[in-house]
Structure 1
Amino acid sequence: MYIGLLHLHNFGRWLVLVAAVVAIVIAVLGLVRGAPWGRGAKLSGLAYLIMMDTQLLIGLVLYGLSPLVRAAMGDMSLAMADTQLRFFLVEHFLLMVVAVALVHVGYALSKRATTAKAAYTRASVFYTLGLIAVLAGIPWWRPLFPGA
């Protein structure tokens, strides 16, 4: 089960990245063009949000099942001294939780905006910050398509 979830989580990162880029491009173009806040902007933001939430849920299950995390919890001082253990135990986890929170805030604030400009601005800023946190938290040294 662990390996299957790990592969699903790895594949999910690509869905998150695609959803993020689409949502950000739509938000920025809407802002630049002065377009009305419409269905495309709402749905792209919602897709990004759903992908992030799904990844977080899978990640939390992996966190509980991970032999790497279990080993690290056994000796926290040793784990903090090891770059890879620290990354998965603390850095990846925190960056992704922050990323999910940023996307949620951006989605909620854009829904509550009273003008299209405000909605697009909020979505652009928070979705981009969320993507930056995701990019910072991805373990880039791991295979991009494991098992391929």
Structure 2
Amino acid sequence: MYQFILAFHSLLRWLVLTSLLVSIITAYRGWFQYKTYSKRDNLIRMITVIIAHTQLVIGLWLYFISPIVNYFLHNFKDAVHNRQIRFFGIEHITMMITAIILITIGSAKAKKQTTDNQKFKTIAIWFTIGLLVILSSIPWSFSPLISRPLFRPF
């Protein structure tokens, strides 16, 4: 089961990144071109938040069944000095929860805005910051610090 959830989590990241990019591009276009905030724009925002929250739930599930995290939690004094174990034991989860909080706050603030331009601006800023946090915390295959495959088989 661990391998399946890990592969699913890895695959779902691409959906998270894609939905965030679509939301951000739509938001910046709407903000700078003074477009009307439509039902489609709202749907894009909601779908992005739902996908991000789904990824978080799967990530938390993975966190609690991961052998790497288990080792980290039971051997903290030694594990905290190992870059790869520390990354998955504390850094990755902390940054990803932070990113989802930022995206959630941005979504909630956008709903409360009274003008279309403010809705787009709010989404653009908060989702961009969330995306940057996510991009900095994914274990990319090309990272010199912590490396994982871009796609995991099921």
RMSD: 1.0
Name 1:95's counterpart in structure 2.
95
* Structure with the largest fraction of helix: 1
Q: TM-score, normalised by structure 1?
A: 0.97
Asked if the contact 1:26–1:40 (Cα under 8 Å) also holds between the matched residues in 2, the reply is no
What is the letter of the counterpart of residue 7 of structure 1?
A
Name 1:146's counterpart in structure 2.
152
Identity of aligned residues (%): 35
Deviation string 1:1-37 (CA, Å, 9 cap, x unpaired) is: 1110000000000000000000000000001110111
Task: Point out where structure 1 has 5 or more consecutive residues left out of the alignment.
Answer: none
What is the aligned residue count?
A: 148
Asked if the contact 2:11–2:152 (Cα under 8 Å) also holds between the matched residues in 1, the reply is no
Deviation string 1:79-136 (CA, Å, 9 cap, x unpaired) is: 1100001100111001110111011011111110011111111000000011011111
What is the letter of the counterpart of residue 62 of structure 2?
L
Q: Provide the C-alpha distance between the structure 2 equivalents of 1:72 and 1:24, rounded to a whole number of angstroms.
A: 35
Q: Secondary structure at the residue paired with 1:147?
A: coil
Instruction: Identify the range of structure 1 (34-43 vs 19-28) with the bigger mean alpha-carbon deviation.
Output: 34-43
Q: Provide the C-alpha distance between the structure 2 equivalents of 1:105 and 1:118, rounded to a whole number of angstroms.
A: 14
1:8-23 equivalent positions in 2, closer than 5 A:
8-23=8-23
Instruction: Identify the range of structure 1 (33-42 vs 80-89) with the bigger mean alpha-carbon deviation.
Output: 33-42
What is the letter of the counterpart of residue 71 of structure 1?
Y
Q: Provide the C-alpha distance between the structure 1 equivalents of 2:78 and 2:116, rounded to a whole number of angstroms.
A: 51
What is the letter of the counterpart of residue 147 of structure 1?
P
Asked if the contact 2:110–2:123 (Cα under 8 Å) also holds between the matched residues in 1, the reply is yes
* 1:119 and 2:125 are equivalent in the alignment: no
Q: Secondary structure at the residue paired with 2:80?
A: helix
Instruction: Identify the range of structure 1 (13-22 vs 66-75) with the bigger mean alpha-carbon deviation.
Output: 66-75
